[in-house]
Structure 1
Amino acid sequence: MSNNPGRKNPLLQAERADRNRKIFIQVAVAAVLIGLVAAIGIGIAIKKAEKDDPGPTPSIAAAQAPGAVTGAITDNGSIRVGKPEAKVTVRVVADLQCPACKAFEAAYGKVLDDAVSTGTAAVEYNIISFLDKASTTQYSTRAANASYCVAQEDPTKYQAWLTAMFAQQPPEGGNGLPDEKLIEIAKSAGYSDAVASCITDRTYEKFVADTTNKAFDSGIQSTPTVFVDGKQVNPSALEQAIAAAAAGQ
């Protein structure tokens, strides 16, 4: 049989087609793998960014009337309530799920209220969330978040809100109060409907976590822990410690 230069070799064509198909598949697989690697990398970057994002920071507007009770957020995340002329600073580290903190509030809440109203002392409420494990719904975190929500709207009502929260403290090991109840308590303390979304959205959840870590890093080991002008005091000696600090002793 003679060769025909003008005739294409079917076997050669099949081999070329098969080779081209393999190359195409290899290129497609490589493209898919590159895409997957890129997607995974982007996903990891997004998750890291979300983890590293500190979230919004609460802020409290200064009081307009001279000599009025005002509020602020301190560097350690405490909610400071008091008059500008207050010479004594009391810091209370507490968890709203903590039974001992509830007992402290019942015994000394009025002492702190009076100290603020008379201008004797400003009180820094360092609300943390180390007792999330004591509820099935992260109640400590949700309550601490609500603490910032209400303080941001009006610090002058904060102490009354805190009293109401401790009065309705849920038992450890349960579900904790639902968000609807937290909103109800806020409204009963005179806060507006505007705090509702802040509570349900857990706006300051990451800030609460950061504040809690700062407290632990500073050496806090239990709640309540109380300081007067930076010096830790026995809660039972709070009133005397405030009086001594005010007198410059």
Structure 2
Amino acid sequence: MSKRNSQEAKREARERLKAERDKQAKRDKIRRQLTVGGSVLAILAIAGGIGFAIANNSGGGGDSTDWSAARDIVDNGAPATDDTDADAENAANYPTEAPANTSGDDSLTVQVGDPDAANTVTLYEDPRCPVCATFEQTMGETFKQGIEDGSYKVEFVFGTFLDNNFPGDGSKNAVSALGAALNVSPEAFLGFHEALYSADWHPNERTDGFTDEYLIEIGDTVPELKDNQDFQDAITNSTYATWAVQMGDKFNADPEVEGTPAVKINGQLIETPYTPESLDAALAAASQG
């Protein structure tokens, strides 16, 4: 799927962040106005139409991350607050450390396989992308085999641009969960990545399917992540939210990659291979070059 023009995407992202902050400020203001002794019905009556949004934002069945705060931390080192409408002490303050098993100066390189392998295959994917799901279901075993036999190492770069196209923040939340799996081990990451794109678990991209609960449910299908409290806590506590935002920025910064899935071999963009034979041909051409 195609990513939008970078300038348009940046403008829309700024507008979306402002709208999210305004909504959050209104929610915080209403919370302060509600009395502790009020009944549930009274609260709903006061809160009116934003009751559902408050429940979602507090983790009542969706994504518990305040993504506007995570963006502020990446951009400014701290979440933005408006003391007139929101208490500074209540602002989300997510960690900024990257998951274990990352590399690079910015800790945004996710590379699996023999570091001395002659070739590097770089995959560009968005978790919500349905074409990426088809791609992984078709080529995932081939990439896994290439990693295992040392033919190449695989680097993953994750976009989150589909969150601009459809409701919710499922792409960012899924990237954050991928970081939580990577923090456990590369094997856990690969297993979770495979399950996430599988026909059994990949949700419709038009729905905000990658909730905290659903991502934990996916994790329970991976031996290294089943009932893994560290993995689950990292999702519900948004431990790798800022890392997910930065990963999306890395994807957007590549001028050659215009959509997902995209594939590079040794830094050169190739036609996306949908058969093992086409991948082998591309690897052979890269070796000759």
- The answer to whether the superposition gives a TM-score over 0.5 is yes
Give the structure 1 partner of residue 214 of structure 2: 181
Structure 2 residue corresponding to 1:222, chosen from 259, 262, 266: 259
Separation in 2, partners of 1:56, 1:188: 28
Q: Deviations over 1:216-243 (max 9, x none)?
A: 1221321111100000011123232234
User: Residues of 2 paired with 1:92 and 1:138: CA distance?
Assistant: 21
Query: What is residue 156 of structure 2 aligned with on the other side?
Result: 125
Q: Distance in 2 between matches of 1:93 and 1:195?
A: 24
Match of residue 56 from structure 1: 96
Cα deviations by residue, 1:31-52 (Å, 9 ceiling, x for unpaired): xxxxxxxxxxxxxxx9954149
Q: Secondary structure at the match of 2:220?
A: helix
The secondary structure found in structure 2 opposite 1:123 is: strand
Give the aligned partner of residue 159 of structure 1.
Answer: 190
Contact in 2 for aligned 1:128/1:211 (Cα 8 Å): yes
Deviation at 1:138, TM superposition (A): 0.7
Query: Aligned partners of 2:125 and 2:247: how far apart in 1?
Result: 12
Aligned-partner Cα distance in 2 for 1:49–1:148 = 20
Distance 1:128 1:210 in 2: 10
Counterpart residue number, 2:30: none
Quote the Cα distance in structure 1 between the aligned partners of 2:249 and 2:150. Answer: 31
Larger Rg: 1
Unaligned runs of 5+ in 1: 1-45, 61-70
Kept in 2, the 8 Å contact 1:90–1:227? The answer is yes
CA spacing shift, 1:178–1:56, aligned 2, 3 Å = same
| Aligned 1:210-249 pairs, distance under 5 A | 210-219=246-255, 220-236=257-273, 237-245=278-286, 247-249=287-289
- Displacement, 1:84? 3.1
Return the alpha-carbon distance in structure 1 between the equivalents of residues 240 and 176 of structure 2. 5
Which aligned pairs between 1:1-249 and structure 2 lie closer than 5 A? 49-51=77-79, 55-60=95-100, 71-75=101-105, 77-167=108-198, 168-190=201-223, 191=225, 192-219=228-255, 220-236=257-273, 237-245=278-286, 247-249=287-289
| 8 Å Cα contact 2:113-2:154 kept in structure 1 | yes
TM-score by length of 1: 0.70
Counterpart-to-counterpart distance in 2, 1:223 and 1:183: 25
Give the secondary structure class of the aligned counterpart of 2:248: helix
Displacement of 1:196 in angstroms is 0.5
Please state whether the residue corresponding to 1:73 is helix, strand or coil.
coil
CA deviation after TM superposition for structure 1 residue 85, in Å: 3.0
The number of aligned residues is 193
1:13 maps to none
Question: Match for 1:126: what amino acid?
Answer: V
Q: What is the Cα-based RMSD across aligned positions, in Å?
A: 2.5
Amino acid at match of 2:191: A
Tell me how far apart the structure 1 counterparts of residues 238 and 174 of structure 2 sit (CA, whole Å).
9
Name the CA distance, whole Å, in 1 between partners of 2:244 and 2:182.
14
Shift of 1:54: 8.9
Whether contact under 8 Å (2:99, 2:180) holds in the other structure is no
Q: CA deviation at 1:193?
A: 2.3
Residue identity (%): 25
1:72 partner letter: T
